[in-house]
Every structure is written in structure tokens, then in C-alpha cells.
Amino acid sequence: MVQQATTPRLRRGQWQSMTWDEFLAWAPDEGQAEWIDGEGIAYVSNSTGHVDLEGFLVVLLRHFVLVYGLGRVFASTALMTVPTRPAGRMPDVFVVLTEHLDRVHERWVDGPADFAIELVSEESFERDTIEKLLEYQRLGVREYLLIDTRPGQTGFRFLRLDTDGLYAEVEPDEQGRYHSQVLPGFWLDPDWFRQDPLPNPLAVLRLISHDAWQRLVSEVETGS
């Protein structure tokens, strides 16, 4: 009699050996989980501040991307494959442009994303600032934003691939704002992420682009 393989027991915060297909069957529906070099892990729950910041970014980006038809925005329950390792990562937030939507599957996106954001915590500092930075660079994620959410920290790094395929720091403009090339017209102010409570993302959308705000209001009013 052939003995069927059993799905590993879920133990958050512990790496467990499994194939990619086993990982897809094992990964919980809620919370972040990643698969690296034949091992899967389900991370412990994020802080409420992390969840609030992720929600702010998702609302802001989704509305901007939606009104201009630029692509799709995914949050931390969607996987991005990294075949150069191999790995399946879950960026906190990432954007796939319209011309790359053929990479989107039911459970994952074939990397690279066009724009990825990681919210750096005590637990994820080395992973986000070293491991993922190198992986995303090799994979070809065009823009990578790291926002430090650790207590007492205000770090904000915006990286963009240069002509040699290496990440270079994006410099802010005279007002301290960071402009995206992946999403033309979109910019971020690090001061937003230091406010408690966070600003209303729809008010921020209007600040970034009055045209985007007007389009959103028009679509809501017409039901389109």
C-alpha cells in the first residue's frame, strides 16, 4: 500500500521542509508565508501599526492605479515567485503593470513585480534589507521601497534599478518627496508614515494628483 504524504503541521515562525506544491496547500489563508530553497514558513502576526500602514498603502496605490488603468496592486497574501533562487516571497505591497498581467495566477505572480514595498520590522530587518534586496535586484523588480516601522526608527529607502541592473538610491525632490518612474505622476512623502494616526489615503490621493481624485469621484458618481 502506498502511503500518502501528509501536510506538515502549521508552526508559525518555524521553517519546514516541503515542495512548492506542498507549500501552496499548506500556507494559511491569513498572514504572511514564504517558501525559500525547499522550505516554507508562516510568519507570526504583524503589529497593528504594520497592518494600518499596509492598509494605507494599499488603498492609496489601488485607487491611483485603478483610475489610470496602470495594472493591479497586491497585498501581503499574494506570492511573488523568485525563480533565480528559487523562492516564493510575499512583499507587503506590490504592483504589477498592465503589460505584465499575464504573470498573474490564482495563487501567485510570476516575478518580477514592477514595484515592491516592504515594511521593515525588528523580525524582518535582515530579510528585507539584505536578502530580499539582493533577490529583487537579481529578479529585476524595478523599484523597491523600504519603510522602517521599528519603534523609534524613521528610515525610508527608495531604490531603483540603474542601467547596470543594480539598485541605486532615489533622491527626493526639494520638498522631500520621492517620485516613482514605474507609476508616472505618483510620489510619496516620508512624513506621512510618521504621523499617528496615519492620514486619510483618499485625502493623500487628492494631494498627489487632483486629476486622479477627480476621476475617482466621477467614477463613483456615475457608477462606472
Choose among 203, 187, 185: nearest CA to 195.
Answer: 203
Element containing residue 14 per DSSP (H, E): none
pLDDT score for 1: 42
pLDDT score for 45: 73
pLDDT score for 224: 64
Instruction: Give a yes or no: residue 5 inside a domain.
Output: no
The DSSP 8-state label assigned to residue 163 in this structure reads: T
Which set of grid coordinates corresponds to residue 63? 485607487
**CA distances in angstroms from 205 to 15, 33, 64, 199, 216, listed in the order given:** 39, 30, 7, 10, 10
Which range of residues forms the domain containing residue 31?
11-45
Read off the pLDDT band of 6 (50, 70, 90). low
- Asked whether residue 157 carries a pLDDT value surpassing 90, the answer given is yes
pLDDT score for 13: 80
pLDDT score for 2: 43
Please, are residues 42 and 27 in contact by the beta-carbon 8 Å criterion? yes
Which set of grid coordinates corresponds to residue 41? 514558513
* Bridge partners for 41 per DSSP: 34
Say what angle helices 48-68 and 210-222 make with each other, to 10 degrees: 80
In terms of domains, do 29 and 136 share one? no
Q: CA-to-CA distance for 24 and 98, rounded, in angstroms?
A: 25
Which set of grid coordinates corresponds to residue 220? 463613483
In terms of domains, do 115 and 155 share one? yes
Choose among 185, 190, 152: nearest CA to 171.
Answer: 190
In terms of domains, do 23 and 108 share one? no
**Beta carbons within 10 angstroms of residue 195's beta carbon:** 9
User: pLDDT for 106-148, tens place per residue?
Assistant: 989 998 999 999 999 999 999 999 999 999 999 999 999 999 9
Task: Say if pTM beats, i.e. exceeds, 0.85.
Answer: yes
In terms of domains, do 83 and 115 share one? yes
Read off the pLDDT band of 7 (50, 70, 90). low
User: pLDDT for 164-182, tens place per residue?
Assistant: 999 999 999 999 999 999 9
In terms of domains, do 31 and 85 share one? no
In terms of domains, do 212 and 111 share one? yes
Mean pLDDT of 13-17: 89
In terms of domains, do 148 and 216 share one? yes
In terms of domains, do 61 and 169 share one? yes
Whether the link from the prior residue into 86 is cis, omega within 30° of 0, is: yes
Instruction: Give a yes or no: residue 3 inside a domain.
Output: no
Instruction: Give a yes or no: residue 120 inside a domain.
Output: yes
SS3 185: coil
pLDDT score for 203: 96
User: pLDDT for 192-205, tens place per residue?
Assistant: 999 999 999 999 99
Mean confidence (pLDDT) of the chain: 92
Q: CA-to-CA distance for 131 and 120, rounded, in angstroms?
A: 13
Which set of grid coordinates corresponds to residue 43? 510568519
User: pLDDT for 17-74, tens place per residue?
Assistant: 999 999 999 988 877 899 999 999 998 777 888 899 999 999 999 999 999 999 999 9
**Residue ranges with strand state E in 12-155:** 16-17, 33-36, 39-42, 71-75, 79-82, 87-89, 93-97, 108-110, 115-120, 143-148
Instruction: Give a yes or no: residue 210 inside a domain.
Output: yes
In terms of domains, do 89 and 182 share one? yes
Q: CA-to-CA distance for 98 and 113, rounded, in angstroms?
A: 11
Please tell me which residue, 173 or 9, carries the higher pLDDT value.
173
Phi, psi angles (nearest 5°) of residue 146: -115, 125
